[in-house]
């Protein structure tokens, strides 16, 4: 298992999901990025590979900021690590 | 195994009624852009009134037999979610339509994984020496079970058929099919289902709830499970055959959703240029999708003998399965 950093999440969004870098700024939410309902499912599949830990489908929602999403993933990685 | 299965012929068939996204947008709350961005689908084909699964299956089967240069086969195995009737199976009707009197024929039901299961079943018949050739067909008239009020599923599925003729052989090499990885998880049956019409609903003593006679699917959960199970199954079969992801010339997966295909290729480390994708033109044709996608790519001249294909599918059940195929030198176009 490994942690997710904000920089890694941004890199995934830009490289794998073609999110425009200029849209990414502090406090931006997934809803602000105008992604659709399937996007978060796809993102979690990619993030799970990155951190090598399972994250439930509903862990992140469209109203979460990118910073909040990083925290949520870290919490799941930490919990999985102490199981 | 001393006997192995080889691909001897392939064919496919689409019904005549082409339905572009705009036609669906005219009768339900959706749009061409909504459908394209979420699924990659631009159009699908629906069977005209009076045309059933056995009609599509027989036409694809006839084309595959012609491609194999055969007038007869030893058995017919049909994968379908939409049989002509709940009872009996549709394969005997298909065999009769093809003039295959007395030929063993039966259906395999594994929803969108059906064709991979049917291929495995056919390989078993060949390996046991029951027959020397098997016509394996995936055919659907999925339009007959779509809920017109459910835009999420109505825009995804289409009708069609694809077929392969397998012949027994004693060596590996070009044309060889297998090994296989197959699996299921019945605890997930509610994710992809037609709730009414079977023993469960009939024995309940209750009339079907509105909409229960139609197909339903939990899209987001299915998306995730599809990618995870196909990736796991594909890796297992690559391990069995001793190939790396880089050895795969073509990823021939069930055409469920373009975004699933892209994500699966990414997870497996297979470049998108090697992914067979015809979903934009035909939609999700369930059990027909793999042979239909492979036949269209073959007809377009995309394969050369010796190309390595990785086949993988996920569907209701839940079910999943994968196999590999080395493209043969097909001499009968």
Q: Mean pLDDT score of chain B, rounded to an integer?
A: 95
Q: Count Cβ atoms below 10 Å from residue A6 Cβ, excluding itself.
A: 14
Question: In the annotation, is B130 catalytic?
Answer: no
Q: Please, what's the largest Cα pairwise distance for chain A? A: 39
Q: How much is the pTM? A: 0.93
Nearest of B98, B43, B48 to residue B71 by alpha carbon: B98
A1 within some domain: no
A27 within some domain: yes
pLDDT band at B1 (very low <50, low <70, confident <90, very high): very low
CATH code of the domain occupying B176-326: 3.40.47.10
CA B104 – CA B92 distance, rounded (Å): 8
Four-way CATH pick for B4-169: 3.30.2020.30, 3.40.50.2020, 3.40.47.10, 3.40.50.300: 3.40.47.10
Mean pLDDT of B95-108: 97
A38 within some domain: yes
CA B57 – CA B80 distance, rounded (Å): 9
pLDDT in tens, B131-186: 999 999 999 999 999 999 898 899 999 999 999 999 998 667 899 999 999 999 99
Is-same-fold flag (B4-169; B176-326)? Answer: yes
The residues with which B138 forms a beta bridge, in sequence order, are B79, B162
pLDDT in tens, B215-269: 999 988 899 999 999 999 999 999 999 999 999 999 999 999 999 999 999 999 9
A35 within some domain: yes
Question: In the annotation, is B174 catalytic?
Answer: no
CB–CB of A45 and B263 under 8 A? yes
CB–CB of B219 and A16 under 8 A? no
Query: Taking the domains of chain B in order of start, what are their residue ranges?
Result: 4-169, 176-326
Cβ neighbours of B227 in A, within 8 Å: 45
pLDDT in tens, A19-71: 999 999 889 999 998 887 788 888 998 998 888 888 888 889 899 999 999 99
CA B31 – CA B26 distance, rounded (Å): 8
Assign residue A60 the CATH number of its domain: 1.10.1200.10
Question: Which of B21, B257, B278, B284 is labelled catalytic?
Answer: B284
CA A15 – CA B261 distance, rounded (Å): 17
pLDDT for the residue numbered B230: 97
Mean pLDDT of B29-42: 91
Complex ipTM, two decimals? 0.77
Give how many domains chain A has, as a whole number.
1
Q: In the 8-state DSSP scheme, what is residue B41?
A: -
Question: In the annotation, is B284 catalytic?
Answer: yes
Distance from CA of A13 to the nearest CA of B (A): 14
- Give the residue numbers spanning the domain of A50: 6-82
In three-state secondary structure terms, B18 is strand
The full length of chain A comes to 83
Question: Which of B112, B229, B253, B278 is labelled catalytic?
Answer: B112
- From chain A residues 45-64, the ones with a CB under 8 A of any chain B CB are 45-46, 49, 57
pLDDT for the residue numbered B2: 55
pLDDT in tens, B65-93: 999 999 999 999 999 999 999 999 999 99
A75 within some domain: yes
pLDDT in tens, B300-324: 999 999 999 999 999 999 999 999 9
Yes or no: say if B14 and B293 are a contact pair by the CB < 8 Å rule.
no
Mean pLDDT of B10-22: 97
């Amino acid at each position: 298992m490994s942690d997710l950093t904000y920089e890694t999440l941004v890199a995934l969004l830009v490289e794998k999901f073609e999110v425009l870098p200029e849209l990414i700024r502090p406090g931006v939410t997934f809803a602000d990025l105008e992604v659709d309902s399937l996007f978060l499912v796809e993102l979690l599949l990619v993030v799970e590979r990155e951190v090598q830990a399972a994250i439930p489908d509903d862990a992140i929602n469209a109203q979460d900021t990118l910073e909040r999403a990083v925290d949520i993933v870290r919490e799941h990685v930490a919990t999985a690590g102490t199981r | 195994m001393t006997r192995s299965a080889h691909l001897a012929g392939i064919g496919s068939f689409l019904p005549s009624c082409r339905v572009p996204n705009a036609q669906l947008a005219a009768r339900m709350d959706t749009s061409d852009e909504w459908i394209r961005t979420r699924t990659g689908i631009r159009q699908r084909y629906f069977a005209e009134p009076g045309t059933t699964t056995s009609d599509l299956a027989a036409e694809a089967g006839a084309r595959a037999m012609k491609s194999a240069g055969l007038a007869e086969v030893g058995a017919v195995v049909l994968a379908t979610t939409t049989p002509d009737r709940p009872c009996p199976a549709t394969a005997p009707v298909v065999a009769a339509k093809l003039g295959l009197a007395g030929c063993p024929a039966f259906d395999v039901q594994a929803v969108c994984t059906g064709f991979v299961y049917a291929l495995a079943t056919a390989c078993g018949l060949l390996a046991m020496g029951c027959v020397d050739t098997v016509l394996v067909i995936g055919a659907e008239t999925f339009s007959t079970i779509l809920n017109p009020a459910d835009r999420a599923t109505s825009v995804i599925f289409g009708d069609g058929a694809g077929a392969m003729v397998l012949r027994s052989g004693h060596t590996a090499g070009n044309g060889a099919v297998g090994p296989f990885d197959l699996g299921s998880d019945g605890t997930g049956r509610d994710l992809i289902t037609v709730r009414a019409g079977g023993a469960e609903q009939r024995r309940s003593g209750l009339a079907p709830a509105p909409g229960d006679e139609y197909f339903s699917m939990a899209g987001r959960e299915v998306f995730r499970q599809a990618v995870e199970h196909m990736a796991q199954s594909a890796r297992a079969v690559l391990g069995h055959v001793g190939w790396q992801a880089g050895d795969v010339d073509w990823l021939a997966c069930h055409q469920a959703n373009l975004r699933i295909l892209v994500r699966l290729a990414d997870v497996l480390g297979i470049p998108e240029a090697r992914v067979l994708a015809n979903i934009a033109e035909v939609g999700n044709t369930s059990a027909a999708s793999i042979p239909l996608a492979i036949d269209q790519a073959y007809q377009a001249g995309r394969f050369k003998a010796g190309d390595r294909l990785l086949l993988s599918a996920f569907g209701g059940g839940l079910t999943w399965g994968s196999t590999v195929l080395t493209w043969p030198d097909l001499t009968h176009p």
